[in-house]
Structure 1
Amino acid sequence: MSINKPKAVAGIKIPDSAIAGQATELLLEHGTEFLYNHSLRTFVFASLGAVNKKVQYDPELLYVSSVFHDLGLTPHYSSPDKGFEIDGANAARDFLQSHGLPHQALQLVWDAIALHTIPGVAPYKEAEVALLNYAVALDVVGRGYQDLSAQHREDIVKQFPRTGFKQQIIPTFFEGFKHKPGTTYGTINADICAFMIPDYQRGNFCDAILASPWSE
Structure 2
Amino acid sequence: MNKLVADIRIPDSKLAVGAAELLREHGNDLLWNHSHRVFLFGALQGKHAGVTFDSELLYISALFHDLGLTKTYSSPDQRFEVDGANAARSYLQSHGVPQESIRLVWDAVALHTTIGIAQYKEPEVALIYSGVGYDVMGENFDSLTEEIRSQVVTAYPRDNFKNKILPAFLEGFKHKPETTFGNIKADVSAMLLPGFERKNFCECVLHSPWKE
2:40 alignment partner AA:
V
Runs of 4+ in 1 over 4 A off after TM superposition: none
1:96 aligns with 2:92: yes
Identify unmatched segments of 5+ residues in structure 1: none
> Which moved further from structure 2: 14-23 or 194-203?
194-203
1:104-123 correspondence to structure 2 within 5 Å:
104-123=100-119
In structure 2, C-alpha distance between the alignment counterparts of 1:132 and 1:103, rounded to whole Å: 19
Q: CA deviation at 1:103?
A: 1.2
1:1-216 correspondence to structure 2 within 5 Å:
5-216=1-212
Q: CA deviation at 1:200?
A: 2.2
Q: CA deviation at 1:214?
A: 1.2
RMSD, matched Cα: 0.7
1:128 alignment partner AA:
E
Q: CA deviation at 1:199?
A: 4.3
> Which moved further from structure 2: 156-165 or 190-199?
190-199
Equivalenced residue count is: 212
Identify unmatched segments of 5+ residues in structure 2: none
In structure 1, C-alpha distance between the alignment counterparts of 2:17 and 2:67, rounded to whole Å: 16
- So what's the TM-score if we normalise by structure 1? 0.97
Q: CA deviation at 1:186?
A: 1.4
Q: Indicate the percent of aligned positions where both proteins have the same amino acid.
A: 54
- So what's the TM-score if we normalise by structure 2? 0.98
Q: CA deviation at 1:120?
A: 1.3
In structure 2, C-alpha distance between the alignment counterparts of 1:86 and 1:29, rounded to whole Å: 20
